Amino acid sequence: MPEAKLMQGNEACTLGALTAGLSFFAGYPITPSTEIAELCAEELPKVGGKFIQMEDEIGSVAAIIGASLTGRKAMTATSGPGFSLMQELLGYAAISEVPIVIVDVQRVGPSTGMPTSLAQGDVMQARWGTHGDHPVVVLAPGNVRECFDLTVKAFNIAEEYRVPVIVLSDETIGHMREKVVLPDLKTLKVVNRAAPATPAGYVPYKADPDGGVPLMAPFGKGYRWHVTGLSHDETGFPTNKGDVAGALIQRLMRKVEKAEPVLRDYATESADDCDVLVVAFGSSAMSATSAVRQARAKGVKAGLWRPKTVWPFPEEPLRELASKVKRIIVPEMNLGQLVYEVERVVAGKAPVEKLSKVNCELFRPEEILASIMGGSK
């Protein structure tokens, strides 16, 4: 029987990365994510991996892109200020289709903000932080065990679809400790990128135009191919042809859009018959879960819908629920980000209420409960 362990969220994230095959970490220490770098520095040499402390967060992403191009599974970890610096090279990884994982343990902003305090203000930045249309997948753990599970999943997605994947944690999730029973690591699914069989005839970006994923050859193994942040053709070399550049962007976006039903991940509690639906993610969902249970005890049919995959947003299951409920409440530790995506998806099927908090403190269940009960008298 698997052994139960007391584990911190950032520790579980690191263990998940190592289980998925992480062999290269480059990063710059920043609260509240520093434990991930510390543990990688300690553990990677034990499995033949490499840890490098870089000069800044831009250099960190550049380093993991380079490592990934050689065939390594690579990751970095940061928080808001560092995540802002990473955006240029996140776009580079997206257009050059280099699989990387970035862990963003959110904290109060903007700018330096409050390094040790909780916030959830990076939701839209995670999706739209770098310019232009670009593919990205964002996963949000809601407890310590999910820090492990979703980090493994992040690597699997990055490898299968050649796309940057962001694990969007937060200060509370990253620093809290819970009893965790991990799965049997020997039976855990681990995905490795598809590689060509031989250098002969290799065309680095040749793929089905409708969302295909090209085979990825490792640098240093006899393959020669060009990598650039410029719009490029199948050979990887830059192009000035509008139709070629447009086809590239369409393919990059389609590979994630087509995979959405597979990438879709969410959790519910008492949502099937609810009148009031609470939509929450990350640490806010912990308080929301308690509030929903308290509301049920008071005779109010409340339910919870929690996206684990934040981007691409799981539209279909939420839209189905929205047609059955009377109200939707979206508590989040910002002045409103996820709520606008919920409003777009619900499209008037039910009223959507924003519940914001930006005083660096986690929602108390009674705050969410008051909102549930306020319109249910």
Work out the average pLDDT over 194-217: 94
Residue 208, Cβ neighbours under 10 Å: how many?
12
28-49 residue pLDDT tens: 999 999 999 999 999 999 999 9
- Of the pLDDT bands very low, low, confident and very high (cuts 50, 70, 90), residue 186 is confident
Q: Which two tokens stand for residue 100?
A: 């990387």
Cβ atoms of 329 and 279 closer than 8 Å: yes
Cβ atoms of 277 and 236 closer than 8 Å: no
Q: Is the pLDDT of residue 377 over 70?
A: no
Whole-model pTM: value is 0.96
In the chain, the percentage of residues whose pLDDT exceeds 90 is 96
**Spatial distance between the Cα atoms of 126 and 105, rounded to a whole number of angstroms:** 12
In the chain, the percentage of residues whose pLDDT exceeds 70 is 99
CATH T-level fold of 4-187: Rossmann fold (3.40.50)
Q: Where in the chain is the domain with CATH 3.40.50.920?
A: 266-374
* CATH number listed for the domain at residues 266-374: 3.40.50.920
Q: Where in the chain is the domain with CATH 3.40.50.970?
A: 4-187
Dihedral, CA of residue 325, residue 258, residue 194 and residue 137, to nearest 10: -50
Cβ atoms of 74 and 62 closer than 8 Å: no
Q: Is the pLDDT of residue 337 over 80?
A: yes
Give the pLDDT confidence score for residue 1 in this predicted structure. 60
Q: Is the pLDDT of residue 375 over 90?
A: no
